[in-house]
Amino acid sequence: MKAIVIIFATLFVIVGAGLTGCYKDVVLPVAGADPNAPPKQYSFSKDIAPLLNTSCAKSGCHVAGAQAPDMETAVSYNSLVNGGFVNTDFPSQSILYQQLTGNMEEHMPNAADRQKVYDWIRTGALNN
Ligand code: HEM
């Protein structure tokens, strides 16, 4: 009887170890945010400028007299493009994108919003 209990206990441990061993982490892509997906078209004035104004042009941050680039709606396009923060030849090397997916990501926590900014750069960073 004791031998049977030991056999079952051993089997139980082996099966248990086997099951946990084959557990695999499945990382699902963040909804609406696939940097490699074909870029969607966005309007700077309707989609991007309001997003940057709300998320970045907070008092003491990316506003006149504080941290460049100034991302207040009226001036954000010129600050970003003429300030060298956008690289349409190599969009992922854009300072704007690198900061948005780096030090500044906390200020735009929604991945789909960050993707909009990236797609705008990838479609030529138009003043549309
Ligand atoms: C999603 C919104 C934001 C974007 C896209 C953004 C973008 C940037 C960029 C492109 C730079 C680099 C500037 C350079 O290389 O010269 C930068 C730096 C900086 N930003 Fe932001 N930013 C955002 C939100 C904020 C907010 C809300 C604050 C204030 C709490 C802030 C404070 C700073 C500071 C202090 C720096 C300079 C130091 C550093 O590089 O860490 N930013 N940001």
pLDDT, tens digit, for every residue of 81-117? 999 999 999 999 999 999 999 999 999 999 999 999 9
**What is the C-alpha to C-alpha distance for residues 91 and 115, in angstroms, rounded to an integer?**
12
DSSP state of 47: I
Distance (Å) from CA 34 to ligand 1 centroid: 23
What is the pLDDT, as a whole number, of residue 5?
A: 86
Distance (Å) from CA 5 to ligand 1 centroid: 64
Backbone φ/ψ region at 124: left (φ over 0), alpha (ψ -120 to 50), beta: left
Contact 55 CB / ligand 1 (< 6 Å): yes
Nearest 10 degrees: Cα torsion 97, 78, 109, 102? 30
Express each pLDDT in 51-67 by its tens digit: 999 999 999 999 999 99
Residue 8 or residue 27, greater confidence = 8
Contact 87 CB / ligand 1 (< 6 Å): no
